[in-house]
Amino acid sequence: MTPIPKLLLSSVVRGSQQGDSHGGLYLVDPGRGAFEQVLDWNTCDIDFEGRGADRGLRGIAVVGDDIFIAASDELFVFDRTFRITASWRNPYLKHCHELCVHRGRLYLTSTGFDSILRMDLASRAFDIGLRLQPGGGGLTVRVFDATGAAGPAPSHALHLNNVHVDDTGVYASGRHVPALLRLAPESVTVAAQLPLGTHNARPWRGGVLFNDTESDVLAWIGPHGDVRLPVPRYPDADLTGVQLDRSGLARQAFGRGLCPLDDGRIAAGSSPTTVTIHDLAARGQVASINLTMDIRNAAHGLAVWPFSP
């Protein structure tokens, strides 16, 4: 079997306070059971309002030698030594969760605006946004100029937390949306039904793959049946940081972060920060590595690390 690749993981820390660590970046080698923290995200510019707010780093996309990683309202580019080489803000980017790259364009969820923003990677400039909003008894898409002043007002009714783009379309999902949505300039259609509270939903192998976060499982609803694999859990006595979570949101087995590795193996994240390699064909775990037992520290973004040591 092909060796499990090394992964880049981002984490957030729920309930952290100013002066604390807010998560960071880790290189994880699940096959060897090893990891290295390569960046500790600790900044004084963190907004402490709202669910999750700005604590930690979020979605990851690797493009050539550039590593794009989102914070809440800023997009960063790191080199392979994790030095920041560029960053961008946008008035319509708030509480960003995930990123996706397709055909020279980078797509970002803007949870605080119920929108998806697009950046042209050739010009390194934001160009358009897609705002989801109620209409016609369902949802509609409003296309707006992401560089102008006539964009949408803040809104997080849908809690959009994921975007996936491939040759079949632009897909979005969120905690308060019971479906994987396919977006077009004039329409929104349902690509697949989902339970509420999901993360990382995407089309995969003729079905839909996602973290069913409310049920503590990784799920694949495929053409020949469903596969549901449990997220790792630990004895309560082994957990740390429980009394330090002032948000009241931190819990173990919160599944978030997903990265298909091949036709059957999936890397998935959970809290306290853990990376698990699932084999959907065998319906079991291939490997699992825990990075910390701090209940506040939660996995967020996952991507294959394409660079040699």
Contacts of 8 (CB under 8 A, 6+ apart): 25, 26, 27, 28, 60, 62, 67, 301, 302, 303, 304, 305
Q: What is the pLDDT of residue 242?
A: 84
pLDDT in tens, 8-30: 999 998 754 444 456 789 999 99
Q: pLDDT category, 55, cuts 50, 70, 90?
A: low
Is residue 75 domain-resident? yes
Q: What is the pLDDT of residue 308?
A: 82
Q: What is the DSSP letter of 204?
A: E
pLDDT in tens, 260-296: 999 899 999 999 999 999 999 899 999 999 999 999 9
Q: Which domain holds residue 173?
A: 7-304
**What kind and span of H or E run contains 171?**
strand 169-174
Is residue 265 domain-resident? yes
On the question of pLDDT at 309 being above 50, the answer is yes
Is residue 1 domain-resident? no
On the question of pLDDT at 107 being above 70, the answer is yes
Confidence (pTM): 0.93
Q: What is the pLDDT of residue 23?
A: 77
| Residue 245, both tokens | 């979570």
Residue 289 belongs to domain with CATH number: 2.130.10.10
Is residue 174 domain-resident? yes
Contacts of 121 (CB under 8 A, 6+ apart): 63, 101, 104, 105, 106
Say if strands 105-110 and 115-120 run parallel, antiparallel, or are unpaired: antiparallel
> CA of 81: how far to CAs of 66, 77, 251, in Å?
10, 11, 32
Q: What is the pLDDT of residue 245?
A: 66
Q: What is the pLDDT of residue 47?
A: 45
For residue 182, count CB atoms less than 10 angstroms from its CB and return exposed for 0-12, middle for 13-18, buried for 19 or more: middle
Is residue 144 domain-resident? yes
Is residue 223 domain-resident? yes
Q: What is the pLDDT of residue 49?
A: 45
Give percent above pLDDT 90 in the chain. 79
Average pLDDT value for residue range 162-174: 97
Instruction: Give the total number of structural domains in the chain.
Output: 1
Q: What is the DSSP letter of 72?
A: S
Amino acid in the structure at residue 163: V
Residues 25 and 57: their CA atoms lie apart, in Å, by 8
Is residue 2 domain-resident? no
Is residue 300 domain-resident? yes
